[in-house]
């Protein structure tokens, strides 16, 4: 995907504060952090959203979950974190390349949704 923001980060065309990289996924700090720890974990291959994910994406989506705890601990959220994947307009997705927010810090993140 030529113009996709996160594909451009994967290709090194745009800068990012990388905190983890393996053959399947990349993780970097969110540019507008909502909590002291706020990292985005993305598949290196372009997947537009979870609505477009297929059986073939099982391994990379699993890897995103498996690396989350290590990233959270490394970044200063040793006692837990929240992982969020927004999907489509109802889910509030703004960047159309699957990404999992890993948010945390020393204080509880707060209620899951605004009431």
32 half-sphere exposure, CB direction, 13 A CA radius? 0
Q: Residue 13 interacts with ligand AMP (CB under 6 A)?
A: no
> Between residues 26 and 37, which has the closer beta carbon with respect to Zn ion?
26
Annotated catalytic residues are 99
Choose among ligand AMP, Zn ion, none what residue 74 binds, the Cβ cut-off being 5 to 8 Å by kind.
none
Contacts of 44 (CB under 8 A, 6+ apart): 10, 23, 24, 25, 26, 60
Diameter over CA atoms, the chain: 40
Q: Residue 95 interacts with ligand AMP (CB under 6 A)?
A: yes
Q: Rule CB under 6 A: which of 32-91 touch ligand AMP?
A: 32, 40, 86
């Amino acid at each position: 995907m030529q113009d996709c923001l996160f594909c451009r980060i994967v290709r090194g065309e745009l800068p990012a504060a990388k905190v983890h990289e393996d053959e399947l996924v990349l993780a970097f700090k969110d540019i507008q952090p909502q909590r002291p720890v706020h990292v985005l974990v993305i598949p290196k291959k372009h997947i537009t959203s979870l609505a477009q994910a297929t059986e073939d994406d099982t391994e990379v989506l699993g890897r995103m979950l498996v690396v989350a705890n290590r990233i959270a601990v490394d970044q200063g959220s040793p006692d837990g974190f929240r992982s969020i994947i927004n999907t489509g307009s109802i889910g509030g997705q703004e960047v159309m390349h699957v990404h999992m927010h890993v948010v945390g810090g020393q204080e509880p993140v707060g209620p899951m949704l605004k009431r």
